[in-house]
A and B are shown apart, each in its own frame.
Chain A
Amino acid sequence: MTEILPGTQIPSRNLVDTQADLYIDNFRKIMRSARLNSQYPDGRALAEHAGVFSSQVHRGLYKGLEIDERTGLPTYKEWTRAQTDITLAAKQIVSLGSRSAMVTKAAQHPDSAHSRNLARYDYYTEINGTQMAPLGSMNVVVRRVDRDRRLAHFHVVLDKLDASGVFVRYSIDLAQQGDAAVASVDGRDLASQSDNFHALIYQFTSLDAEFMFVKLASMAGLQVERVIKGTVGPFFLDWMQAPAGLEISPDGFVATFGLDMAAVDVEATRNNDPLAPATDEKTRATYAQVASKLGYRVFKDRKFVCPHAMVANVRAFAETRGTRNVVYGV
């Protein structure tokens, strides 16, 4: 396919028929088994959103499912397709009209626009009101306001399907002194987030929690307490390039869920993520200096979900990387 800018085309593979349905079944099982808390992207919403991709739901209206080869997750195009259909469902059901008339016409004209419209009607009816995983949204909530010190404490949550292809949730606790860098607070202590702050967080989602902590702490008037980055993905499938030492059995998968935390209340800096990118010593030393001054510590972790038969392999892989991780079997 033509590239608008060199290097921007996402490598993808199209799963069709039973392959696509098997993928969705596994995806939903994985999300149920992963036991994600509020620091991760909403697992239930992701599972529901992905359910729209099942051929039993879309009744053959779409051909296959495009998977991002970097992450093993459906591509942005697919998530947007489901989001569009869920958003339009109620309106389209009304415009399609009476189902009983469609049933009669579809019986008279199998394999025609009438049968497609009937399938579409049933599809829209089934997905209407389905919970969606946010592809890019930020919520700022005021935790408390100290009017004497002109200090407002916020809890910020940004959910995003990141450009790297994984789902990210950034949860940030910080205090803002004076001007509205993060958000403005009205008389009822409701926060109205600033565009600049939204853009700032949005742009840095591919970077780690520590960078986000330092970046925010360097902004005048902000006191950062905690930055947590929870990720869903990558999922390594049997046809994908897995990290060295991690073997994926035929028809198997290894789903990963990262947690990266920089906070003043973390007891000790520790890296328990076997997939965390290596940091060179110089950068590490620089970060250590900054961490010491700003008083935060970093904790990185990752949990895994894979078929029962692969659990031992995944644990062994973690051990070779010097970590001990939670591995759930499905």
Chain B
Amino acid sequence: MVYKSEFLEQTVTYSGDAISVRSLEELIGGERLRQNEQVDELTRMHQRNSDLQSALVQEMDRLRQLSQELQKSRQGQRNKLADMFTWLPWVKSSATTRRSIEDLLRRQFEMSSMRLREAADFADRLDASKIDLYDEIDRLNRKIIESAHNEETAAARVLELRDAKVEVEGELLLAEPSTSHERELSAKLDRIRRLLAEHTTKLKLYSTAEDRLAALKKNTRQLVETIAHLQSDITRYVTAASEKLDLVAGQIQAIGAAADAANVVLELKQSLDAMTESLNLTTQFVVETQAYFRDNVDTMIDDLDLYDEETELALSRNLAFNESFDELDVEHALTSALASQIDALEEFDDEVEFHIPEEVKST
């Protein structure tokens, strides 16, 4: 068969952009750059994941410790509740700071919620990165398939051209030298050589592109697997932490208020004890003074006529006694009011079965 000129003029269509050594290097360079960025992003994510997880672990551990210490406090055991809030940045020290346990628990909860939200958002970002990387694999696969197709097209063309070259070379051997036929065959052979060189180069380039893209895809797949592991880890942890916080959320105020109520009761009890003691002393004093008045009132009235210094002194003493009796009334009223509030608090206390430890009561 003699290859006609039409065969040589046939256009071979390769899919995608035209390929050259330079364009292949640019393509691979671009893909590498993209992958390096992904690796950098992964490194940052790894670090962020590690920071978030350790922060979350710390917060959860604090909540767990708080729960344990509250439990101990409830059971009247020695506990470290007062020391537990020094980890909060705004608490100066357990020794110098007296704060509401409800307030502290809530601040701790709000801080933990913040960490959890950051971690949950981060898990979604990892998920999005995973999708991006799968898209990247899809894109690389399309390029790999495209290169493979082009490689096959180039190979087929090279084979055709090689066959054509062999045939034209054979014809050329038989042709009369320097005839127009010989010249035509020679020109055809040159054209075949040129096309063969072009398509052989393309064949090599597409083959190289396919292999290099496949290597890049392997790296991307490793990246996506790493991110999937990261995401799975953080999602598992976030879910567990979220359940824990949900459990705490519904109860934290009541627990804090109950703990505070115990403190309040204790404080009121102490102030009542102190007040009762001073009340007893004052009452004794008043009783004794009144007895004195009763014994001496007649003499004092007789002496009133005198309006001397002694009388004035007795009158001012009497006024002082009356004032202290008034004060006593106020103290008594205050005591009763506080006692009523204690009763109310103790009812609340009973409801949550929050007992004041005996050793605390006695302090």
Residues of A with Cβ closer than 8 Å to B?
1-10, 12, 75-77, 80-81, 83-85, 87-88, 92, 95-96, 105, 108-109, 112-114, 116-117, 120, 135-136, 161-163, 165, 195-196, 198-199, 202-204, 206-207, 211, 214-215, 218, 282-283, 286-287, 289-290, 293-294
Contacts and interface: CB of A to CB of B under 8 A. Distances in A.
Contact of A95 (B106, B125, B130, B341): B125
B334 A163 contact: no
A211 B344 CA distance: 12
B70 interface: yes
B124 A5 contact: no
A10 B334 contact: no
Given A211-B337, A293-B333, 9 more contacts: A4-B248, A5-B254, A105-B131, A112-B131, A117-B128, A198-B100, A203-B102, A207-B341, A282-B336
B247 interface: yes
B263 A203 contact: yes
A218 B74 CA distance: 30
A117 B258 contact: no
By CB atoms of chain A within 10 A, which of B127, B250, B334 has the most? B250
Contact of A136 (B103, B330, B344): B103
B353 A6 contact: yes
Contacts of B40: none
Given A4-B247, A6-B353, A7-B353, A202 B100 contact: yes
Nearest to B249: A77
A195 B337 contact: no
Contacts of A207: 341, 344
B206 interface: no
Interface string B175-219: 000000000000000000000000000000000000000000000
A126 to B, nearest CB: 16
Contacts of A202: 100, 102-103, 260
B110 A83 contact: yes
Contacts of B114: 84, 87-88
B337 A4 contact: no
A80 B249 contact: yes
A10 B264 CA distance: 22
B255 interface: yes
A73 to B, nearest CB: 13
B351 interface: yes
13 contacts: A4-B70, A5-B71, A5-B251, A8-B251, A76-B249, A80-B113, A84-B117, A112-B128, A112-B131, A163-B253, A163-B257, A195-B92, A282-B336
B277 interface: no
Nearest to A206: B257
Contacts of B106: 76, 135-136
B252 interface: yes
Nearest to B91: A195
Contacts of A204: 264
Nearest to B110: A80
Contacts of B25: none
A271 to B, nearest CB: 17
A1 B340 CA distance: 34
A2 B256 CA distance: 17
B251 A163 contact: no
A8 B352 CA distance: 7
B97 interface: yes
Contacts of B74: 5
B163 interface: no
A44 B98 CA distance: 33
B246 interface: yes
B103 to A, nearest CB: 5
A80 B109 CA distance: 9
B118 interface: yes
A7 to B, nearest CB: 4
B253 to A, nearest CB: 4
Given A77-B246, A84-B110, A196-B98, A7 B340 contact: no
B38 interface: no
B329 interface: yes
A85 B117 contact: yes
B128 A120 contact: no
A196 B112 CA distance: 25
B121 interface: yes
B110 A116 contact: no
Interface string B225-253: 00000000000000000000011111111
Given A84-B117, A88-B114, A203-B264, A76 B253 contact: yes
Contacts of B253: 10, 76, 161-163, 165
B99 interface: yes
Nearest to B245: A77
A170 B191 CA distance: 97
A184 to B, nearest CB: 14
A116 B110 CA distance: 24
A5 B125 contact: no
Contacts of A10: 250-251, 253-254
A294 B71 CA distance: 41
A195 B97 CA distance: 6
A199 B128 contact: no
Contact of A8 (B98, B258, B329, B340): B258
By CB atoms of chain A within 10 A, which of B128, B248, B351 has the most? B128
Interface string B77-119: 0000000000000001000011110110011011001100110
B251 A4 contact: yes
B310 interface: no
User: Nearest 5 CB-CB pairs, A to B?
Assistant: A113-B127, A77-B249, A163-B257, A8-B254, A289-B333
Nearest to B122: A95
Contacts of A290: 330, 333-334, 337
B204 to A, nearest CB: 35
Contacts of A85: 117
Contacts of A109: 131
Contacts of A161: 253
Contacts of A198: 99-100, 103
A75 B132 CA distance: 38
Contacts of A96: 121, 125
B67 interface: yes
